[in-house]
Amino acid sequence: MNILLRLVLAWLALAWSGSAAASGSEVLLEFREDAVLAELRLPLRDLAAALGRPLPASPLPVRGRLHMELARYLGAHIDPVTVDGRHWWVELADMRVAVDAEPRVLVAHAVLVPPAGASARRFVLGYDAIARELPGHATRLAIRSDWHGGVLASRPATIALLDAPRGRVAVDRDHGSAWRGWLAVGRLGVRQATDAGRYLLLLLVLAVPAAVRSPALLARIGAAFALGQALALLASAPGWFRLPADILDALAAGALVLAAVHAMRPVFAGRETWYATGCGLLYGLAAAGTVGALDLDGWQLAAAILAFAAGSALAQAALLAAALGIVAGACLVMRGRTAWSPAKR
């Protein structure tokens, strides 16, 4: 029994050490109109072994002579070419050591630009950093952001695993269309709205009394909430205006308490649409980080804001329709009971 236990412990130790040593690299691609941005994530320990020298593990940006050395090394190991063999232009930008990962990794950003007349969505990528010096080192190649392909930064799509020196993989994203980006961000807006429990409750507390009074007032509240969130997204998603999360939580909690008081005894009667606009602003500010994290710019960011707002508004409209249906059903039940109740003598 002792021998069996020792064998099991030894196997677990080997498996643990093997999994730790097998930590691979990552190449995350972001597609733009005329270029591809690449984020390289390389384990610091394996990179030091490939270079044959120790590397600092401090979480400071890499600058100076070390930056030049690493840029030369990585530039010699990245080789994107067109399908007819023409080489792309590669520029290594900022580098830093990430301390939020274990083992620690070097994070480097590169800009890949195709030659004149070539598509930025179809090429052959050659990449063998670390793998050339340490055979067997694996690199995961993934698409992190591709508007035309419907791939968002929140859900990268793995396309290949490079585990041999001078690994090459064909990347072909010509089949995409702008509608895929719209639909992907719209679905993200729906999911975000359904997960925003406090803000959905706030909208519901505003909606139920409005549904009792008038369906038209309910529609105005829904439209005002959607307008407020769209305005906040337009101001906050590009990074122009942000509020800390704890302040937003406190404001949302206060707005919920005030809406609950209004539901029992009107506090801002006749101004419900203005209050709903303010609540929508709070929700838009809270959700702006989700859109900002998509790493989009230009018209793609503007389209993402509109698609996200449309998806959120669709989910909220479904909630308001459900509230209206529940109120209408309750009214019918009450009227039925009143009509069938026996008259008092």
**Tens digit of each residue's pLDDT (9 = 90 or more) over 59-106:** 667 888 888 899 999 999 999 999 999 999 999 988 988 877 677 889
CA distance 282 to 279: 5
Q: Is residue 205 part of a domain?
A: yes
Mark whether 163 and 309 lie in a shared domain: no
Q: What is the pLDDT of residue 101?
A: 64
Which one of 95-104, 114-123, 150-159 scores highest in mean pLDDT?
Answer: 114-123
CA distance 242 to 235: 8
Quick check: 20 pLDDT over 50?
no
Contact 327, 211 (CB under 8 A): yes
Q: Is residue 12 part of a domain?
A: no
Q: What is the pLDDT of residue 7?
A: 38
Indicate the residue among 176, 207, 238 that finishes a domain: 176
Mark whether 281 and 188 lie in a shared domain: yes
Mark whether 48 and 157 lie in a shared domain: yes
Cα-only R_g, the chain = 28
The C-alpha angle 16, 22, 25, rounded to 5 degrees, equals 140
CA-CA-CA-CA torsion for 290, 197, 187, 318, nearest 10 degrees?
A: -140
Q: Is residue 6 part of a domain?
A: no
Exposure pattern of 10-46 as b/e (b: 16+ CB <10 Å)? eeeeeeeeeeeeeebbbbbbbbbeebbbbbbbbbbbb
| Structure-block tokens of residue 93 | 């930008």
Q: What is the pLDDT of residue 4?
A: 47
Max Cα–Cα distance, the chain, nearest Å: 101
Element (H, E) at 96: strand 89-98
Residue type at 22 in one-letter notation? A
Q: How confident is the model at residue 8 (pLDDT cuts 50, 70, 90)?
A: very low
The domain in which residue 27 lies consists of 22-176
Give 309-339 pLDDT, tens digit per residue.
898 888 888 888 877 777 667 767 766 655 4
Number of Cβ within 10 Å of residue 235's Cβ equals 17
**Mean pLDDT for the stretch of residues 120-136:** 90
Assign 37 to helix, strand or coil.
strand
Q: Specify the higher pLDDT residue, 3 or 269.
A: 269
Q: Specify the higher pLDDT residue, 267 or 22.
A: 267
Mark whether 172 and 183 lie in a shared domain: no
Place of tokens 């990794």: 105
Indicate the residue among 146, 176, 206 that finishes a domain: 176
Mark whether 132 and 84 lie in a shared domain: yes
Quick check: 155 pLDDT over 50?
yes
Q: What is the pLDDT of residue 12?
A: 39
Q: How confident is the model at residue 126 (pLDDT cuts 50, 70, 90)?
A: very high
Contact 233, 309 (CB under 8 A): yes
**Mean pLDDT for the stretch of residues 21-30:** 79
Give 219-276 pLDDT, tens digit per residue.
888 888 899 899 989 888 877 777 888 888 888 888 888 888 887 887 877 888 898 8
φ/ψ of residue 317, rounded to 5: -65, -40
Mark whether 143 and 237 lie in a shared domain: no
CA distance 122 to 191: 31
Q: What is the pLDDT of residue 3?
A: 53
Q: Is residue 241 part of a domain?
A: yes
Indicate the residue among 115, 150, 176 that finishes a domain: 176
Contact 243, 287 (CB under 8 A): no
Mark whether 330 and 251 lie in a shared domain: yes
Percentage of residues in the chain having pLDDT higher than 70: 86
Q: How confident is the model at residue 6 (pLDDT cuts 50, 70, 90)?
A: very low
Contact 29, 142 (CB under 8 A): yes
Residues whose CB falls within 8 Å of the CB of residue 240, separated by 6 or more in sequence, listed in order: none
Q: What is the pLDDT of residue 73?
A: 93
**Mean pLDDT for the stretch of residues 121-144:** 91
CA distance 120 to 34: 6
Mark whether 42 and 162 lie in a shared domain: yes
Mark whether 308 and 243 lie in a shared domain: yes
CA distance 116 to 244: 44
Q: Is residue 113 part of a domain?
A: yes
Q: Specify the higher pLDDT residue, 215 or 48.
A: 48
Among residues 88, 71, 84, the alpha carbon closest in space to that of 34 is found at 88
CA distance 302 to 30: 17
Tell me how many domains the chain contains: 2
Average pLDDT, the chain: 81
| Structure-block tokens of residue 99 | 């301390």
Q: How confident is the model at residue 123 (pLDDT cuts 50, 70, 90)?
A: very high
Which one of 19-28, 141-150, 289-298 scores highest in mean pLDDT?
Answer: 141-150
Mark whether 40 and 109 lie in a shared domain: yes
**Mean pLDDT for the stretch of residues 285-305:** 83
